[in-house]
Amino acid sequence: MRKVILFLVFIFFTVNSSFPDIVSQKPNITIKIGVLNFVNNSRYRGKENPAEKIPVLLEKFLVREIPYISSVPHDSLERILEESNKLSSSNIQLDDEAKIERICQVLPVDLVIFGELKEFNLIRFSVGNPMLGGYGSYKAIVEIRFKAVRVLDNRILLDTIVKSVENEKDLDITLLGKPTQIMREFMAFDQLRFESDKFNETLIGKATLDAFRKLKSQLTEVVNPPKLRLVSREHLAPPSVVLIQDGQVYLNIGFEDGARVGDKFVIQRPGPELRDPQNGALLGRVYQEIGVVQIIQIEANHLSKAKIIMGREKIKIGDLIKTQ
């Protein structure tokens, strides 16, 4: 009796009245990004190199802010490049398409983000003697060109320039001659520690985060999870694998279904039904997630070709595409 009760409790928390599917494992189908070193064309020359530090901050920001994004750590990418024909992302020009293509060929990611730091500055406009007191106005300016390239086909998904300006007005010196916080930031501008907890609280840190937010807004317009429109399929089988050939699969989804090159899908196989042990009512069905595929070509309204990312030996004709 105790086993029956425990089983019913388990069912209660895993299914609802609409009889959802129950899956046995979770393949990773995030969009994996890599953020490489930027080119520093700003006039900032500090203790730490912003061309190396800002990409690290950007990678962490995007992974934290966009739920379907994952990443390969910045340091790992640089090691991979160094070990692959002595490539390097240092000082790469964003219009050097040949070098960008070579870099994309060796990185284990879906999307590579390159950057050019065009301006990174903290400016003070003051009235009076800064050592005696007076009025000061501070402006932080961050301007970055971002280029996002899809590794699958070296297609440029985004090439944009974002600029952020943060202003602050303050008295430069207190009555006792003690510098204010913003003046200390200005005096120590070349000593920035980008990965410290205090960086985000500085005026230049706030401008940097605002630039990241602007990039995020544009990036999510062109890089997002699959959104199938499964209409006009009355005479078609459910979205599934229809052919396996030379290590690739053909799927019965295409233009009219909203499929896009680069989309990733979990492939699953239906398992046994789950029924209530007392009255036999259908509670749901177990689905085994056995692989992941990525579309590389749209062939027709309801046909596309995909490469197998995971589960090469397991996927079979008739296996289903997970659409939610």
Total structural domains in the chain? Answer: 2
Kindly indicate the confidence band of residue 12, based on its pLDDT and cuts at 50, 70 and 90: very low
Q: 20 with 65, same domain?
A: no
Lowest mean pLDDT among 190-204, 227-241, 258-272, 305-319: 227-241
Q: Are residues 203 and 311 in the same domain?
A: no
Q: Are residues 117 and 11 part of one domain?
A: no
| Each residue's pLDDT tens digit, 18-38 | 334 444 444 557 899 999 999
Q: How confident is the model at residue 201 (pLDDT cuts 50, 70, 90)?
A: very high
Amino acid at site 19: F
- Of 222, 250, 282, which closes a domain? 222
pLDDT at site 60? 95
Look-up of token digits 């390969």: 72
Q: Which of 290, 286, 282, 288 is nearest to 272 (CA)?
A: 286
Within this chain, do residues 10 and 50 fall inside the same structural domain, yes or no?
no
What average pLDDT does the segment 38-59 reach? 94
Where is the domain boundary, 173, 199, 222? 222
| % of the chain at pLDDT higher than 70 | 83
Greatest mean pLDDT among 166-180, 275-289, 308-322 lies in: 308-322
CA gap 123, 264 in Å, rounded: 46
Burial class (CB in 10 A: 0-12, 13-18, 19+), 110: buried
**157 and 234 together in one domain:** no
Tens digit of each residue's pLDDT (9 = 90 or more) over 106-156 = 899 999 999 999 999 999 887 666 555 566 789 999 999 999 999 999 999
Residue 272 has pLDDT above 60, yes or no: yes
Same domain for 218 and 288, yes or no, is no
Range of the domain at 52: 36-222
Q: Work out the pLDDT band at 90, boundaries 50, 70, 90.
A: low
